[in-house]
Chain A
Amino acid sequence: MDVVALLVIVAIIAAVAAIVSAPLRKRAIDTRDDRGDRLEELEARKQAKYREIRDAEMDFETGKLSERDHRLLDRQLRAEAMDVLRAIDEEG
């Protein structure tokens, strides 16, 4: 085998080993826990609910929903959003 090629391969192996094993040497600490996961999930739900409220507004403005239907739907969506906010408060 070509000596240069051999040296290149050894250098690559060393670099890969260093990159991959670095977290093991540093003992990386993940500050996230189950509560963090739950908050993350609730945050995503909150964003989705906000988007839904926004879409309902857009549907109303563009004539796809009557004023009465929009009022009912908006109330329902806001109630659902409040449930999410309550859950966030409880987690927080």
Chain B
Amino acid sequence: MAIVGRALLILVLVVAAYGICASIYGARRAKPEFVVSGRRSVYAIAALCSGAFFILELAFLRSDFSFATVASHSSTTTPTFYRAAAAWSSQEGSLLLWVWLLSLWSSLVLFLTRKQLRRVAPYATAILLGFAAFFASLLVFSVTPFGVLASVPPEGNGLNPLLRHPSMMIHPPMLYSGYTLFAIPFAFAIGALITRQVDAADWIRATRRFALAAWFFLGIGILLGARWSYTELGWGGYWAWDPVENASLLPWLTGTAFLHSIMIQEKRGMLKIWNISLVLTTGILSILGTFLVRSGILDSIHAFGASTLGVPFVALISAMIIASIGLVVWRRQALRSDNRLDSMLSREAIFLANNLVLVAMAFVVFWGTFWPLIAEALTGNRRALGPPWFDKYTVPLALVLVLLSGIGPVIAWRKATASNARRNFLVPAGLAIGLGVVLAVLGVGSRPLAFAMFVVGAFVVASVGQEFWRGVGVRRRMSGEAPLAALLSLVGRNRRRYGGYIVHVGMAALFIGVAASTAFNDARDVVMKPGQTAKVGNTVFTYVRPTSRISTTSDGRLEKISFGSVVAVRRDGKLVTTLHPERSYFPSRDLSLGPISRFLGGEATSEVGLRAGLRGDIWAAMTPDKAALQPEIDQGDKVFAAAQGKIPAKVEAQLLGQALRGLANRYVTNPPPATFRLITSPLVTWIWLGAIIVFLGGLIAIWPGERDPLRRRAQAKYAARLAKELGRAAGHSTGAPATDAP
């Protein structure tokens, strides 16, 4: 099967090269048959990549260790659930996932636009095929997923235990979906620049939903990564400003800016240079994100992604930057705005401010992420910037961003008057100030930045709530619907607008969670023996007793040894919860270690003890003092080394099992001290709930238009009325287009 997989990838490369030539030739020589052939190349590549990915997945699921990548990233002891995900834990598998997802999205957008964008689409096709060719060439010439081993090992290395987490099943495909979907507006923007169709509304309309989907998937990927960090890495945080985290945040920030500012271009024909620059930057940052996770040029917790793919990626990114700048400069005349900003008191002005803040945040994150490389180039020393540096700049910017997300919904397009603005801001501002007073009385003002975030967050919720309230009122007046029906039809008929408002509420909740959990958390690292207690804030943690367990696979082989603890948590003397943090050790394949040492010498993971609630989380992680067990481990190693070859293998395995069980029992009966990280943190759950609200809003905004015939009839009726009025005024007649009814 490996040979078929390899052939499929070579074919992808050949078809991509052909498709690029056919698309460009067809566009330049006005030969539509070549353009269609180029488009079909994309469909063919999607089918070929699907076949290649299927072969790789099959090899992982069947534990076919003749595939080098399966042998190095999976094992028979890896649970089936994770074997499926192990495919993209490898360099080559993740690159195949990238090109496969790209080919699927590319096929979808080209199929949907097959009867539109006659001039732009062929160049966009060529760009998308260019990306496919790039990744296919990496898979053919540098890191093939279909490399085979001369001698097939009986067992594989297994999946990195850190990746054995449900989030990790979904996190990479979500991130890569985001990255690859952002390639689509990038490709169409390049096509629009080449063909001088930059002021055309149709390419924006055709690709906007893909940009929104990219934002949606990338956001989910980022949040899943944060959740994984919080529950799996054992340090108690959800965001560490790690380079790979930052790499995914960069295109998300610029993509968010684009999704707002593109509305101004659609409505007013303004900000064309800005918008096209944003979409090109987002596309470039998506490739940069893939590069950072796959190159290992910056120190990251994602060390499993390290490789030597730097040069081709740098070449691709350089080509994208040069081409983007060159095309924007070349088409600068065509990119002039049709209109000017009517007033600084308008939604356009708020969107512009929101864009500036988002781009400033992206710049801060970019600078901080690449500072180690910049510092090394300037001084010869590689120095990383830590979270305090990032927080110093991003926290004030986030405050302004959240505030703007509350102002935008209650301000009119084009021009709002001061009296209307006063009327619209009165209730939200009053509620926010009222909350501020209450919080100040409660002493929250001691942390001014967090206090400010709570106030502006409340303002956002109130302003969006007011928008829904008034919108439902309008619907009820017009249609006489019941409140719930009016709400549903209001949202259903204005998905983009109200989906966006829901996103704003989710972001406010998320930032409130971040502010509270950062400013008011209590954390302590403490070494405890059973029976001892530690106080963290007003919470008392008691190390009640140690635990240990040996986990085996379904065929009886050892999977991991876990040393844990039972921790009782009390407040005001009352038991609040009992936590069970533990540290698990996976076997090493390093044969230089002794037989017992080997079982404790591999990767280690933390299972945190967590009690999550709306008001706050109680979190505990522990690391046992493994060194205290070392004398027994050394003794066991000596005994088994001496007995090696003198007793049958089966007996040796049984004895080894007994020895390990003895070691686990020894940990419980004579426990060494353990190091605990104990945290009480308010409102962390708001982050995850806020994220769910954000994605719910995003889903509403992305969802395709209603196909209900009644609604279509209503839309057509509204459009007909508008067209009739306009036609009467202009002395012309025109057809009735479908548009949303109010």
Contact = CB atoms under 8 A, between A and B. Distances in A.
21 contacts: A16-B15, A19-B43, A22-B40, A30-B118, A37-B118, A37-B119, A40-B117, A40-B118, A44-B201, A44-B205, A47-B737, A51-B740, A54-B739, A54-B740, A54-B741, A56-B412, A58-B494, A64-B424, A66-B420, A82-B726, A82-B729
B474 A19 contact: no
Contact of B7 (A12, A28, A81, A89): A12
B310 interface: no
A59 B411 CA distance: 8
A57 B449 CA distance: 38
B201 A55 contact: no
Given A1-B3, A85-B730, A20 B417 contact: no
B420 A50 contact: no
Nearest to A46: B737
A19 B470 CA distance: 54
B36 A28 contact: yes
Given A58-B474, A59-B413, A78-B725, 12 more contacts: A16-B15, A20-B40, A23-B40, A30-B36, A47-B739, A48-B266, A50-B722, A51-B266, A53-B722, A58-B742, A66-B417, A73-B414
Instruction: Say whether chain B's binding surface is mostly helix, strand, loop, or mixed.
Output: helix
A87 to B, nearest CB: 10
B54 to A, nearest CB: 13
A9 B47 CA distance: 14
A69 B497 CA distance: 21
A71 interface: no
B334 to A, nearest CB: 13
Interface string A1-35: 11001001100110010011111101111101000
Nearest to B1: A5
B739 A50 contact: yes
Contact of B33 (A9, A27, A54): A27
B425 to A, nearest CB: 11
Nearest to A13: B11
Contacts of A22: 37, 40
B44 A16 contact: yes
B666 interface: no
Contacts of A86: 730, 732
Contacts of B494: 58
B410 interface: yes
Given A2-B3, A20-B15, A63-B470, A78 B729 contact: yes
Interface string B564-576: 0000000000000
Contacts of B197: 41
Of B4, B43, B119, B205, the most chain A CB neighbours within 10 A belong to B4
Contacts of A1: 3
A23 B18 CA distance: 14
B603 to A, nearest CB: 36
Contact of B416 (A2, A58, A65): A65
Nearest to A81: B726
Contacts of A37: 118-119
A46 B467 CA distance: 27
Contacts of A45: 201
Given A16-B11, A44-B205, A64-B411, A69 B51 contact: no
